[in-house]
Structure 1
Amino acid sequence: MTGNKKNIIKKTILYDDHICLGAKMVNYSGFYMPLQYTSSLTEHMHVRNYAGIFDVSHMGKFILKGKHSEDIIQYLTTNDISKIKIGQAQYTCLINDKGGIIDDLVIYKISEQKFLLIVNAANIEKNKKWINDYIKKYEYSDIELIDNSLEYSLLAIQGPLSLFYTQRLTNISLNKISFYHFKIGEFSGIQNVLISKTGYTGSKGIEVYVSNENAKKIWNEILKIEKNKIIPCGIASRNSLRLEMGYRLYGQDISEKITPIEANLSWIIKFEKKFIAKKILQRQKKEGRYKRFISFLVKEEKKIPRQGHLLIDENEIPIGYVTSGVYSPVLKKGIGIGYLTTNQKKENSVFVLMKTKKIPVKMVKLPFIKIKN
């Protein structure tokens, strides 16, 4: 035998299209993904000002169905799935028995007994095992978890003009779909396409969930709507776009060693319901002893914080670390998020250590930029 199956890099159904468009491809979460087609700066600003399309088909896609499917979701996630109706979606997280985040995900309620779970690509197998283990533990013989990750594609069309242009491809009124709601209907002549008002950029947009056999048609028709109005964008600009909004990235900003309280995601914890590790999170919130999530601007021009940089105080004592940092094309300065691991009282006395130089930072509230959608 040669090689290890686990190390084989997968390709989305649009791999050849990305190559033809001149994309620089990289290994991202076990998939060949386009890093950029032109430049990350160009793609970032095009999304903020016009519209861009992302292939995010590497994301995991599960169908959970059965009489007790809502019960298992309620117990394994922190948000309250009973609060949403058919046609709505919800951001939440799977947690382990210590309160750590196994994954953050979006759940779509297709029917009373059927849910679509969009999970992070790197966590597909881990999530599948975690959910199936609890289905077996509670002997839910009526629940079925189906992994459609490699059979379906996910396209994200984002930007202030995204709905204006894509409206030409569907008779569903896109403007009438509320945020975190979805419709299932015809798109680009394809039936039974799920169109959701969701995204990872903060700008107006939709995400399209479609079978692989129809993904190429939709991708190419979107790019042909009007020349250079909707451009293909890679994961580099997707990263800077999401960071301008302060959205967490699994594996960097959140992990199984970080609770949703530490990650400043308490808004997706509903303590009025029963869920795994509820008592642990209640105790953590009450005692207030945990690392603290922060967001900051770098005061010096041309200095960009990066994952792993130390946060230090005025005496150069380590007090935390950066989890994500990038140059903001909109603000034209470095921005970052991370954690303080000590009870730092003077927030104006935090610095990021870049090589041997301490760079002052300014704490700010998220999002870093305000977007009018």
Structure 2
Amino acid sequence: MEQKTPLYDCHVTWGGKIVPFAGYLLPVQYKTGVIAEHMAVRTKAGLFDVSHMGEVTYKGKDALANLQKLLTNDFTNLPDGGVRYSPMCNDQGGVVDDLIVYKISDENYMVVVNAANRHKDVAWMKEHLFGEVAFEDISDSMAQLALQGPNSYEILKKLTEEKYIPKKYYSFVNEAYVGDIPCIISKTGYTGEDGYEIYMKNRYAQQMWNLLLKTGSESGLIPCGLGARDTLRLEAAMPLYGHEMDDTVTPPEAGLSFAVKMEKDDFIGKAALEARGPLTRKRVGLKVTSRGIVREQEEVYMGDRLVGHTTSGTHCPYLGCAVAMALVDIDAANAGSQVEVLVRGRKLTAEIVNLPFYKRNK
């Protein structure tokens, strides 16, 4: 049976169309619709309930050592108040999950994991604990809101002191306040836009939701659902677990080599990644050049040769075109190459393009 986030009643009140997702009942869209929600985030601001995401903590003198062994990225130089992305690999070099690490202090870290993988991740993390470290899954006590879009800052500054608003991308303020609500404010997001993710105890979630929407209404802020979250992340070419990566896809194949530090001491999956040698396939972008929309798990051909499969695809409201991401053979991965995608028995033409499809002007 699906769980409800602390904001379930708010979604119903706002006319959210509720669907099951990752074990939760969440709004796929509101009465405004996916396109309007997508465009609000690109041009003004949108508010998402992402309380279904999982949070765990590592505390103790061996907290860092555990993260170094568990994750592919390097956290030895992460400052207090810093945020860093990392894949977490299995022994074969495939991706167990991709996640974000928040450093509160040398012996205190919060790790945010994907909702659908929470229980799998927690089991994997517990299995690999060592040394002096206290591990805790705090997911059920935490709510998370994502305030995203170019007007996010002007909305937030009406509700909090400047010192509580993180300035640098991938940084956070641990003990902040929005109004009189204690929270964590993080300059992060999954939309390709400027914005913030705000963490708070469950009991404050509805108060925070209502406060942000009321304050942000004159700046164009509207609530947004899972549909827009997916089209926004795809337009920005952000990978999604279960699509662009899984237990059989390595981080380099998924285009995540920037978060794999092979020079650091041993981590789970390092030997397997070394043994694989040069890449044989990689994630690419496809711009559909004929009429039609490409979805995930559709075959990609170069001439008569099957060269890979799509991992995500949609029509992008802001760009006004259909795009997809795909995992293809390395010799077919050059930008400008022409390919065809088999969609329901019909081949659509597409061009391989560089990622991301959309990048905001800073």
Q: Same fold (TM over 0.5)?
A: yes
1:245 aligns with 2:236: yes
Aligned to 1:218: 208
Show CA shifts across 1:31-54 (max 9, x none): 111100021000000100000000
Show CA shifts across 1:151-171 (max 9, x none): 100100000001101211111
Assess if the C-alpha contact under 8 Å between 1:167 and 1:174 holds in 2. Answer: no
**Structure 1 Cα separation of the partners of residues 355 and 284 of structure 2:** 9
Return the match for 2:328 from 337, 340, 343: 340
5+ residue gaps, structure 2: none
C-alpha deviation, 1:117, in angstroms: 0.5
**Structure 1 Cα separation of the partners of residues 152 and 240 of structure 2:** 24
Return the match for 1:72 from 45, 66, 70: 66
Aligned to 1:199: 189
**Structure 2 Cα separation of the partners of residues 156 and 278 of structure 1:** 33
Cα distance 1:226–1:157, how it changes in 2: closer, same or farther (>3 A)?
A: closer
**Structure 1 Cα separation of the partners of residues 105 and 342 of structure 2:** 50
1:364 aligns with 2:359: no
SS of match in other structure, 2:337: helix
Cα distance 1:298–1:130, how it changes in 2: closer, same or farther (>3 A)?
A: same
C-alpha deviation, 1:289, in angstroms: 4.4
Matches within 5 A, 1:259-270: 259-270=250-261
5+ residue gaps, structure 1: 1-7
C-alpha deviation, 1:291, in angstroms: 2.2
1:319 aligns with 2:292: no
**Structure 2 Cα separation of the partners of residues 169 and 254 of structure 1:** 38
1:350 aligns with 2:342: no
**Structure 1 Cα separation of the partners of residues 163 and 62 of structure 2:** 33
Cα distance 1:296–1:345, how it changes in 2: closer, same or farther (>3 A)?
A: closer
Assess if the C-alpha contact under 8 Å between 2:84 and 2:100 holds in 1. Answer: yes
Aligned to 1:277: 269
C-alpha deviation, 1:11, in angstroms: 0.7
Matches within 5 A, 1:95-114: 95-114=89-108
**Structure 1 Cα separation of the partners of residues 279 and 86 of structure 2:** 23
Show CA shifts across 1:108-144 (max 9, x none): 0011101010000111111111111111xx4x2x211
1:36 aligns with 2:29: yes
Cα distance 1:176–1:195, how it changes in 2: closer, same or farther (>3 A)?
A: closer
Assess if the C-alpha contact under 8 Å between 1:95 and 1:276 holds in 2. Answer: yes
Give the fraction of aligned pairs with identical amino acids, expressed as a percent: 36
**Structure 2 Cα separation of the partners of residues 243 and 48 of structure 1:** 13
SS of match in other structure, 2:212: helix
C-alpha deviation, 1:175, in angstroms: 6.2
The count of corresponding residues between Structure 1 and Structure 2 is: 357
- State TM-score, norm by structure 2: 0.95
Cα distance 1:133–1:345, how it changes in 2: closer, same or farther (>3 A)?
A: closer
With 167-176 and 96-105 compared, the bigger mean Cα shift is at: 167-176
SS of match in other structure, 2:36: helix
SS of match in other structure, 2:128: helix
C-alpha deviation, 1:342, in angstroms: 6.6
Aligned to 1:4: none
C-alpha deviation, 1:145, in angstroms: 1.2
C-alpha deviation, 1:370, in angstroms: 2.4
Assess if the C-alpha contact under 8 Å between 2:165 and 2:185 holds in 1. Answer: no
RMSD of aligned C-alpha atoms?
A: 1.5
